[in-house]
Amino acid sequence: MHATDNTASGSYTLPPEIQEFCEVARRIVRDELMPREQEWLNSPNHAYGMRELPAIRAVFNTEVAAHLEKIARDTGLFYLMVPEAYGGPGLGLLAQAAILEQLYYSPIMLPIANVPNILYECQGDQIDRFLKPVIEGTKVTAFAQTEPDAGSDPGGMMQTRAVRKGNGWVLNGTKMWISNAHECDFMMVQAVTDPDKRQRGGITMFLVDRQNPGLRVEVPGIRTWLSTIAKQHVVHFDDLYVPDEDVLGEVGKGFSLGQRWLTIHDRLLRGPYALGKMQRALDMSVDWAKQRVTFGKPLSERQAIQWHLVDMHIDIQALRSMTYEMAARADGGEDVRTEAALVKLCSSEWGARCVDHAIQVHGAMGESLDLPLTLFYRVLRHTQIGGGTSEIQRILIARKLLGK
């Protein structure tokens, strides 16, 4: 049973126009993306750290990239996450989750306007200089919070400082593991503006042009799979000047902005990110188990294999239900920080577990780089670290359980 069959069931019944969006996304994935997966998987440029549009331009020739972009724009999927005020359909998070689940069925990323939600805090000419170009795909942004000694505790340990100077600020410090740092046009940078208040009113978000002479990007001294494939870099700020008009939101409110971005983009939306891959892994495993014959019988008749499939199915159904509920609650105006942590925790751990089952079912073929399974596993395993480790998510959930 594919994900589309479940998006209109139970308490998560979606209106017909959203079901139509899901079906359009499903058809595009199977007709346009899956036939091109071999080229994608064989390319060194299938960079998950890059935004969707730059990624397809890096992998495919100009004609193919333009074709996929045109499909996304013509169907309206390009703007599926954009509010009505900026030309999008204004879909809620539940609708977005259902559609994104379909798009994440393939490792190829259909180009969409993947705009960080906090960028809608842009005011005045920031809208034309930063927000609108990101919506239209002419500019790429990066989120710069993590530091060498401030990963899981950015509020308490952040060292990057911004000191008032004239009509602006001077930034000094270092950020690490910043996705898109080399390819982006500007960064959303958190810096401490009041060391006494820190995350409680003392951290500010700045919009920093990557060409600013005070900004320097370098490859991490420690090589990881993600730093080489996802283009994560170290970013240095050396007496970098940022004018007041490039402060995003209010001075001192940058940490809460960062948490809002993490809650939705790096936690709640990890649900559909994992679900698409998990459903694909299960579908592949079912097909393989039916056709692969060993000792005179197809694998599908082996109880051990059946149990792998059932365990995958259980994880998918549970995660889908959880994700859709939390998205619906967010649409209703609830504070879903803890709920997003729950989705992040389960999608990352269950997602990696589900794909691990699929690799086992496929045997040696499961390790083939010609299949998307090993790539799915690597990116899902990373989500147990990036965006807040699984341990941090458990701490956040425990705090709510204990009334803290």
pLDDT tens, 316-339?
999 999 999 999 999 999 999 999
What confidence score (pLDDT) does residue 396 get?
94
What confidence score (pLDDT) does residue 233 get?
87
Q: What is the largest CA-CA distance in the chain?
A: 80
Looking at the predicted structure, is the pLDDT value of residue 371 above 90? Answer: yes
| 267 burial level (CB within 10 Å; 0-12, 13-18, 19+) | buried
Q: What number is the average pLDDT over the span 255-284?
A: 95
State the pairing for strand pair 247-248/293-294: unpaired
Of residues 227 and 235, which shows the higher confidence score?
Answer: 235
SS3 of residue 352 by DSSP: helix
Question: pLDDT class for 153, splitting at 50, 70, 90?
Answer: confident
Cα(223)–Cα(229) distance, integer angstroms: 10
What confidence score (pLDDT) does residue 222 get?
62
Q: What domains can you pick out in the chain, each with its CATH number?
A: 3-115 (1.10.540.10), 141-248 (2.40.110.10), 259-401 (1.20.140.10)
Question: pLDDT class for 23, splitting at 50, 70, 90?
Answer: very high
Q: Which of 14-23, 164-173, 197-206 has the lowest mean pLDDT?
A: 14-23
Of residues 9 and 115, which shows the higher confidence score?
Answer: 115
Label residues 389-403 b or e (16+ Cβ within 10 Å = b): bbebbeebbeeeeee
Q: Rounded mean pLDDT of the chain? A: 91
Looking at the predicted structure, is the pLDDT value of residue 367 above 80? Answer: yes
* 151 φ/ψ angles, rounded to the nearest 5 degrees: -95, -70
Residue with tokens 């990110």: 273
What confidence score (pLDDT) does residue 225 get?
54
Q: How far is CA 101 from CA 2, 189, 202, 286, 329, in A?
A: 10, 29, 37, 19, 18
Looking at the predicted structure, is the pLDDT value of residue 340 above 50? Answer: yes
Q: What number is the average pLDDT over the span 302-322?
A: 97
What confidence score (pLDDT) does residue 231 get?
65
Looking at the predicted structure, is the pLDDT value of residue 4 above 80? Answer: no
What confidence score (pLDDT) does residue 404 get?
84
What confidence score (pLDDT) does residue 155 get?
74
At 96-110, the pLDDT tens digits run 999 999 999 999 989
What confidence score (pLDDT) does residue 54 get?
83
What confidence score (pLDDT) does residue 36 get?
97
